[in-house]
Amino acid sequence: MITEYEVNGEKVFLIRRIIEVRFDKSRYEKLAKKYPKEYLISFSEEKKVLHHTTKRPLVYVSKESGIPLLGHAAFGIIDRGTNLLQVRPITGCNLNCIFCSVDEGRSSKTKKTDFIVDPDYLLEELRKICEFKGRGVEVHIDGQAEPMLYPYMKQFLEGVAEIKEVSVVSMQTNGTLISEKVVEEFEGILDRFNVSISALDQELANKIYGTKYPLKKVLEAVEAIANSKIDLLIAPVWLPGINDEEIPKIIEFALEIGAGKKCPPLGIQKYIPYKGGRKLKNVMSFREFYERLRKMEEEYGVKLVLSPKDFGIEKRARYPSPIKRGDVFRGRIICEGRSEGEKIAVVRGRVVTVLTNKNVGEAVKFKIVRDKDGIFLADEAS
């Protein structure tokens, strides 16, 4: 699980192909005379921890870290007041999609920190919230990330399968890290993969995904899913003026391979320019988008205009939130935030993203300015 190598004057330990622990090589050689490497990897203050894919600093969120799993949009658990819980075990992505709503991937201009959540901690917190929600919960693993980069995914899914309130476990993925072996391993512990395939043409796919995209591998992976017990939803993002001609081809492909055993086979997504995301020139109106989907529904005889009901999603009481907009707190900054100018503070068992120039370890007074869906943003207060 650990490989080691040296690069650019640094000694690197790569754990589970995602967590890079780096030391200055000459310092490491001195320290290694006194301490075992396992000790240095776990406890040395001189190490740097990076996300292997993005090369950004990586925060390991464990129970001991004191970082709660509620309150942040990028990691932990999000409850939007339904029977679906979004679970985000890792940040960082191996693609650089030109439409990415969260500006992810190695070419991100805004993200400066990544997070990974300890699987036992994630399960412990998830169990509590599922118990509150009651029977019929869908655990949906997604993120500002490619979730399949999470190196503890199988272990985590096995734990989720034992939570009695959970009836569906699904995952949003770009599909690039799925193989036949993964499909075999996940049978029985994962109910559905939502795979975003937005082009069937290699050159266009490279352009859309902002990297050399393994199209053949992804197509083989989705066929393997379709032939397994795991359900498959193909979820292209429709980018007007870029992949219009691909959409009908993707519909035909999804129907041909037998996507959608219980769920709809396709979940075509409208490109929406988000604040902080990557922007494209052409944006379709919702009206036009749904009109065109309805036309294609008739043409292909398949449901394309979807609603939460198609996935059994219903309203449920929200997990109680101990903080609200307007509240003012004083707290210590416990780590860097996800983007430039953001820091993480903890109050009343919740993570709050604070916009401040203060450093990690310093105290800061802040006012909650946004509390949507239990995700908290605060401005520094005087």
Query: Looking at 174, 243, 353, 356, which residue binds ligand SF4 (CB under 6 A)?
Result: 174
Give me the DSSP letters along 116-159: EE-HHHHHHHHHHHHHHH-SSEEEEE--SB-GGG-TTHHHHHHH
**37 — phi, psi (to 5°)?**
-65, -35
User: Does position 221 bind ligand SF4 by CB under 6 A?
Assistant: no
Minimum Å distance from CB 144 to ligand SF4? 6
DSSP state at residue 358? P
User: Does position 356 bind ligand SF4 by CB under 6 A?
Assistant: no
Whether the CB-CB separation of 370 and 324 falls below 8 Å is answered with no
Helix, strand, coil percentages (3-state) for the chain, rounded to 5, are 30, 30, 45
Minimum Å distance from CB 85 to ligand SF4? 19
User: Does position 114 bind ligand SF4 by CB under 6 A?
Assistant: no
CA distance 224 to 181: 9
CA distances 88 to 179, 184, 208, Å, are 21, 23, 24
Minimum Å distance from CB 225 to ligand SF4? 17
User: Does position 97 bind ligand SF4 by CB under 6 A?
Assistant: yes
* Torsional sign, CA 293, 295, 297, 300: negative
Looking at this protein, which amino acid is placed at residue 43? F
CA distance 14 to 288: 48
Nearer to ligand SF4, 96 or 155 (CB): 96
User: Does position 93 bind ligand SF4 by CB under 6 A?
Assistant: yes
Count of residues that interact with ligand SF4, criterion CB under 6 A:
11
Residue with the two structure tokens 């300890």: 118
Query: Looking at 65, 82, 96, 110, which residue binds ligand SF4 (CB under 6 A)?
Result: 96
- Binding-site string for ligand SF4 from residue 125 to residue 164, where x marks contact by CB under 6 A and - marks none: --------------------xx------------------
CA distances 180 to 175, 192, 223, 224, Å, are 12, 15, 9, 6
CA distance 226 to 231: 7
Minimum Å distance from CB 96 to ligand SF4? 6
Minimum Å distance from CB 257 to ligand SF4? 21
Query: Looking at 95, 218, 239, 378, which residue binds ligand SF4 (CB under 6 A)?
Result: 95
Query: Looking at 41, 73, 100, 296, which residue binds ligand SF4 (CB under 6 A)?
Result: 100
User: Does position 265 bind ligand SF4 by CB under 6 A?
Assistant: no
User: Does position 105 bind ligand SF4 by CB under 6 A?
Assistant: yes
Binding interface with ligand SF4 (CB under 6 A): 93, 95-97, 100, 102, 104-105, 145-146, 174
